[in-house]
Amino acid sequence: MLASKRILLIIGAGIAAYKSLDLIRRLKERGASVTPVLTGAAEEFVTPLSVSALAGEKVYRDLFDLTDEAEMGHIQLSRSADLIVVAPATADMMGKMAAGLANDLASTLLMATDTPVLCAPAMNVRMWDHPSTQRNLKQLQADGIRFVGPNEGDMACGEYGPGRMSEPLEIVAAVEAQLGNGPLKGKRILVTSGPTHEPIDPVRYIANRSSGAQGTAVARALSALGADVVFVTGPADVSPPEGVQVIRVETAQQMSDAVDAALPIDAGVFAAAVADWRMATASDKKLKKSRDGLPLLEFAENPDILKRVSRLDAGRPTLVVGFAAETDNVLEHATAKRARKGCDWIVANDVSPATGIMGGSENAVTLISDEGAEEWPRMDKDAVAQRLAQKIADALTS
């Protein structure tokens, strides 16, 4: 709930601005007050009248409106909020923010504030992937700006990929996580999840049975405790949680790169079932049956993401948590794995088919740490996630 929270909503000039109207309603339903600011070009997408009618407040539109300055100067406007939400945050807006430009009301408010800022980016997929946007994203994250989305999907411009603004309820979840007083507020935590797919040729790949359910539940539980979660997921069966930054990957190498790009973090939870091997060279054409016999697949080793992060010299996260999916001698293998990888905790589970854990809704884990092995009763994956998130909160805040 957002009772008596004050949100300053900056609406950028993108087609996704229409979703901001619904966002205003959703925030107000939860008890927040919303002061809207429209950039000049945003008025091409939504009208000041509809924005102000939904917000029940005056819309701020122009830096040099002398009446506004007399009533509430832009400095005051930017500081009287509990949170500034930029939705949609266009490529142009992110560029200005990263560069420290202040040549209109929205960018001036963002420069003049010491209030936390949450951005919901929305732009064409090529613009999102462009090195300058990615550079700006990195810079803004380093400056402490929070992000929700963008999502992947069909875009208004007819292309497909990451760049769609998060849905209003996803943004609301991120606002709640940001404004709540959970014990993990201000902590940046990375979670890897799901399987990886390693291509053999354009139509075949090597995969595993991970559904991504446990990693998703962990990300959701951490976010509910107020963490700023970066969720790096392989092609999972379950949808990512709302209100976290989602980075979708396919291969182990892409997952490894995404993790590197997300550093520094306070903690990392590595729940992904990463393929240990990939094809030494994936064929760019479909392999055909031949009279010469069966094809020979040559493997190469994938980067061990957990091990690398655990052994970082500079910038090692305060807490690194790995998972150990075993089918036999679970405790023994998991204890050895913890030492080999150098992580702080290992969440060990038995994934032999009889347990029904892989792909199922329940899990039975043993948490292995410096303090020994703690066996948890079999429970719902959400319950495992909540217990783990609480333990992480205790460890990071003690």
Considering only CA atoms, which of 276, 136, 301 is closest in space to residue 196? 276
345-350 sheet: strands from edge to edge: 245-248, 228-233, 188-193, 267-270, 319-326, 345-350, 365-369, 372-375
According to CB under 6 A, which one of 105, 325, 358, 388 is a site residue for ligand CTP? 325
Cβ-based burial of 154 (10 A; exposed 0-12, middle 13-18, buried ≥19): exposed
Residue from 124, 178, 210, 302 that binds ligand CTP (CB under 6 A)? 302
Q: What is the dihedral of CA 202, 203, 207, 211, to 10 degrees?
A: 110
Of the residues 9, 190, 305, 384, which one makes contact with ligand CTP according to CB under 6 A: 305
Both structure tokens of 201: 């040729």
Instruction: Give the position of tokens 């990392």.
Output: 268
Q: Which of 118, 191, 272, 357 binds ligand CTP (CB under 6 A)?
A: 272
Q: Which is closer to ligand CTP, CB of 132 or CB of 318? A: 318
Question: Is 343 an annotated catalytic residue?
Answer: no
Question: Nearest distance from residue 302's CB to ligand CTP, in Å?
Answer: 5
260 is in an annotated binding site: no
Cβ 64 to ligand CTP, closest distance in Å? 53
Q: C-beta of 155: minimal distance to ligand CTP in Å?
A: 32
Least distance in angstroms from the C-beta of 283 to ligand CTP? 22
Question: Closer to ligand CTP at the Cβ: 107 or 210?
Answer: 210
Helix/strand/coil (H, E, C) string of 123-169? CCHHHHHCHHHHHHHHHHHHCCCEECCCEEEECCCCCEEEEECCCHH
Instruction: Please tell me which residue in 53, 142, 156, 157 is annotated as part of the active site.
Output: 157
Residue 237 near residue 211 (C-beta atoms within 8 A)? yes
Verify binding: residue 234, ligand CTP, rule CB under 6 A.
Answer: no
Q: How far is the CB of 264 from ligand CTP (least distance, A)?
A: 18
Q: Within 143-202, which residues bind ligand CTP (CB under 6 A)?
A: 192
Spell out a b/e string for 298-334, using b for 16 or more CB atoms within 10 Å of the CB, else e: eeeebbbbbbebbeeeeebbebbbbbbbbeeebbebb
One of 45, 60, 231, 323 touching ligand CTP (CB under 6 A): 323
Q: List residues near ligand CTP by CB under 6 A.
A: 192, 252, 270, 272, 274, 276, 302, 304-306, 322-325, 337
Catalytic annotation, residues = 157
> Which residues are known binding-site members for CTP?
276, 286, 303-306, 323, 337, 341
